[in-house]
């Protein structure tokens, strides 16, 4: 007898509908045939499903069984098809009601005992269920929290195959999970929270960070070891505006597709902070693989991508970031398919001024030769540097600053100013055709001309700076964007000369360090 259940395949960060067709009672020897372009994990479902059915107290097929995962041209991967396959087998053997199967989208991995295990991409599956007009989504308990964040779709958490069958047969009531009670809405515990009040000194760096966060700009910190670059970078998410629900769903959908939400360590309502090691490969940073998936730049979407010891990264890995940083998305083409992933990140980079780290340090002597320093600095290409809006020096801290016990300004106070600046930008761009633009860093050329107008005197000043620092046309636009953000922090609609001068000085390291 033929039975059909509905499931989904994860392609990148999106879910695509998959029909699981099961036909039992075929003539011939006892055999389990699985077709529909499955990978190794799907093919192994035979042993898991048969053991789960037997250990859950149901009859197993005694005849030839054929299972088709349609459409056949879409590659199926992962163990998420265990539960819909098991349900389909039992429905084809009249142990489960078939009339209700088309109302639900089902996904879940099964243990040999019949218990369910979490799966990747539950959030994308919930979006697909809503789009397809399904009555609900049936997923394991551990995956239901993220799926319940999607409005207008009922998410039914199940702990076992037996519980799923009883629910579909109407023998057991399972209430849909309320979205407001999702554990993803909770805040990180106090023990895990960082604060800018712990940062000593570095007032110029703190100012540059505030500007960067207010406008969503990329930032490069250059300073000797121990000057606090990494400490400051790790606290940047604490001053970023809280994500809106649509932003958080974008963040979570990527992390869910990568399997990052399968543990409880990452289940908080917060922006991502990714800090890959400098030995990371091009694929690990950008994304890809034999079956294309998200890399670190996509996992940092709507958050911070921190690259510490920037020149130590492979040059090829850094160069692949250039276009994604500009476009806010990355397209990956492989033999298994092509996917486009969002990567609207705030790049924070840190580096030493030389291999030993003490060039320009007033207390320690630099041991590097001029050729060594030149080779070290040349690892950062001009085109990549052009895409970093602010460059700031982080000088070594004095003993007096380290001994100072007075706490610095808190993250809450800085975040309030950043949020106010972001509100101005959101209001400004609300009238645009592309209202998804939320910050100055993503302004188009048309928007720059419209919102970053300067008078003739300021234009002459900017031209002089461009000529003296040998800046590119891209740097010209970025100076205007930063000046617009500084004006927003000051609460003015017009870019004044002090705002422009401050924005220019954040490009002064171009010539001094790299050209």
Residue 52: both structure tokens together: 């789960």
pLDDT the model gives residue 190: 62
Helix, strand or coil for residue 417? helix
Residue 506: both structure tokens together: 């954040």
Q: Which of 103, 27, 94, 10 is nearest to 66 (CA)?
A: 27
In sequence order, the 6+-apart residues with CB closer than 8 A to the CB of 60 are 50, 53, 54
Overall fold of domain 2-183? Ribosomal Protein S5; domain 2 (3.30.230)
Number of H helices, E strands in the chain: 22, 18
Contact 19, 106 (CB under 8 A): no
CA–CA dist 148, 141 (Å, integer): 11
| pTM listed for this prediction | 0.87
Cis peptide before 47 (omega within 30 of 0): no
Strand partners, 288: 293
State which H helix or E strand residue 418 sits in: helix 411-429
Mapping DSSP onto H, E and C, the string for 223-245 reads: ECCCCCHHHHHHCHHHHCCCCCH
Pairing of strands 116-117, 109-110: antiparallel
Domain boundaries, the chain: 2-183, 190-431
CA–CA dist 457, 364 (Å, integer): 43
Strand partners, 160: 115
Rounded average pLDDT per 10-residue block, the chain, 515 residues: 92 91 80 88 89 93 90 89 95 90 94 95 94 93 90 93 95 86 69 82 92 95 90 94 88 87 71 93 85 87 94 91 90 77 93 88 85 88 89 87 83 94 90 73 90 92 88 88 95 93 84 46
Residue 355: both structure tokens together: 């291999």
CA–CA dist 268, 263 (Å, integer): 11
pLDDT the model gives residue 468: 85
pLDDT the model gives residue 509: 67
In sequence order, the 6+-apart residues with CB closer than 8 A to the CB of 349 are 218, 219, 220, 221, 306, 307, 308, 310, 388
Q: Which CATH architecture has domain 190-431?
A: 3-Layer(aba) Sandwich (3.40)
pLDDT the model gives residue 513: 45
């Amino acid at each position: 007898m033929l039975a059909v259940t509905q499931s989904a395949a994860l392609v990148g960060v999106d879910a695509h509908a998959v029909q699981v067709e099961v036909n039992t009672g075929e003539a011939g020897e006892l055999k389990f045939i699985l077709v529909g372009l499955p990978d190794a994990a799907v093919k192994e479902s035979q042993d898991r499903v048969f053991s789960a059915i037997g250990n859950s107290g149901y009859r197993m097929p005694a005849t030839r069984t054929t299972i088709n995962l349609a459409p056949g041209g879409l590659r199926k991967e992962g163990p998420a098809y265990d539960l819909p396959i098991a349900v389909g087998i039992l429905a084809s053997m009249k142990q489960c009601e078939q009339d209700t199967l088309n109302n639900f989208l089902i996904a879940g991995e099964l243990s040999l005992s019949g218990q369910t295990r979490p799966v990747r991409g539950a959030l994308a599956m919930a979006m697909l269920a809503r789009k397809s007009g399904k009555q609900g989504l049936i997923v394991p308990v551990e995956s239901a929290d993220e799926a319940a964040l999607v409005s207008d779709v009922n998410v039914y958490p199940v702990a076992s195959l037996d519980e799923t069958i009883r629910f579909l047969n109407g023998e057991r009531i399972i209430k849909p999970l309320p979205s407001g009670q999702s554990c993803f809405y909770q805040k990180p515990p106090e023990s895990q929270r960082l604060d800018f009040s712990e940062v000593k000194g570095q007032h110029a760096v703190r100012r540059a960070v505030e500007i960067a966060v207010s406008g969503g700009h990329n930032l490069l910190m250059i300073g000797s070891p121990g000057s606090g670059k990494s400490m400051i970078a790790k606290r940047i998410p604490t001053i970023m505006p809280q994500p809106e629900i649509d932003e958080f769903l974008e963040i979570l959908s990527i992390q869910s597709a990568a399997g990052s939400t399968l543990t409880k360590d990452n289940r908080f309502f917060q922006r991502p902070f990714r800090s890959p090691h400098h030995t990371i490969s091009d694929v690990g940073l950008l994304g890809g693989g034999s079956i294309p998936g998200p890399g670190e730049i996509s996992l940092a979407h709507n958050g911070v991508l921190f690259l510490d010891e920037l020149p130590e990264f492979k040059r090829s890995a850094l160069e692949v970031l250039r276009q994604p940083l500009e476009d806010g998305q990355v397209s990956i083409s492989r033999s298994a398919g092509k996917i486009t992933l969002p990567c609207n990140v705030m790049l924070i980079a840190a580096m030493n001024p030389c291999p030993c780290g003490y060039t320009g340090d007033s207390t320690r002597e630099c041991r590097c030769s001029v050729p060594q320093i030149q080779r070290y600095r040349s690892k950062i290409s001009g085109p990549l540097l052009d895409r970093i809006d602010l460059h700031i020096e982080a000088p070594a801290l004095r003993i007096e600053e380290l001994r100072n016990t007075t706490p610095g300004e808190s993250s809450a106070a800085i975040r309030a100013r950043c949020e106010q600046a972001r509100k101005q930008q959101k209001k400004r761009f609300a009238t645009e055709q592309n209202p998804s633009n939320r910050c100055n860093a993503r302004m188009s050329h048309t928007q720059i001309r419209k919102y970053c107008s300067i008078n003739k005197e300021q234009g002459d000043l900017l031209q002089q700076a461009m000529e003296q620092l040998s800046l590119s046309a891209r740097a010209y636009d970025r100076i205007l964007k930063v000046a617009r953000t500084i004006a927003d922090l000051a609460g003015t609609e017009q870019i004044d000369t002090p705002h422009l001068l401050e924005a220019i000085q954040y490009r002064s390291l171009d010539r001094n360090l790299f050209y």
